[in-house]
């Protein structure tokens, strides 16, 4: 039997939304605009992320496909080789994954551009990136005063930032929801 009072769901939502609102205001808009331009110019876009960050990146890959961009999630069996002029975008709160840092090294060897979506400009992935876009939050195991567990703030701010970027890309390419819907999967029941 619980002896403490359980906080209300709406109170917890208010705490999360307040935190997101504060964190999303700290993004460097110029870097995100540069990423938008690179996405528009890239012939193909390769994306990567692990865990919950990877889910946000996968959702973004899906939306880029709906926008008519050729996108590939690294690690999928249908992923082709990266080439000069392609763009690789990866999300990692810590930027310390050896596998991800190795991918960026290899992508640069092949002449691809690299963009890191992360929490700090001073991590290993950021140092290997042509472009660093910051999202609110912290890596698992670190604390920054977030009311949320582990890397939840980063994952949420990444998801929202990427959804906002999709809206910017829609405006830039003069596409509407109907245009994206025409490229939506149509085989599901």
pLDDT digits (tens, 9 = 90+) for 33-81: 999 999 999 999 999 999 989 999 999 999 999 999 999 999 999 999 9
Q: Judge whether 137 and 153 are in contact, CB under 8 Å.
A: yes
Q: Tell me what pLDDT residue 18 has.
A: 83
Segments of the chain scoring below 50 in pLDDT: none
Is 155 catalytic? The answer is: yes
Contact 53, 61 (CB under 8 A): no
Catalytic residue of the set 41, 70, 109, 155: 155
């Amino acid at each position: 039997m619980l002896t403490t009072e359980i906080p209300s769901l709406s109170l917890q939502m208010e705490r999360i939304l307040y935190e997101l609102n504060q964190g999303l205001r700290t993004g460097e808009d110029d870097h995100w605009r540069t990423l938008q331009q690179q996405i528009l110019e890239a012939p193909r876009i390769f994306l990567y992320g692990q865990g919950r960050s990877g889910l946000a990146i996968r959702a973004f890959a899906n939306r880029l496909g709906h926008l008519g961009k050729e996108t590939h999630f690294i690690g999928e069996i249908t992923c082709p080789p990266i080439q000069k002029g392609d763009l690789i975008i990866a999300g990692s709160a810590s930027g310390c994954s050896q596998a991800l840092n190795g991918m960026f090294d290899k992508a640069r060897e092949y002449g691809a551009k690299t963009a890191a979506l992360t929490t700090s400009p001073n991590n290993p992935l950021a140092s290997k990136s042509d472009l660093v876009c910051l999202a609110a939050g912290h890596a698992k195991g670190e604390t920054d005063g977030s009311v949320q567990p582990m890397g939840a703030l980063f994952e949420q701010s990444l998801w929202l930032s990427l959804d906002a970027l999709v809206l910017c890309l829609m405006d830039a390419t003069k596409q509407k929801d109907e245009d994206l819907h025409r490229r939506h999967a149509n085989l599901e029941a």
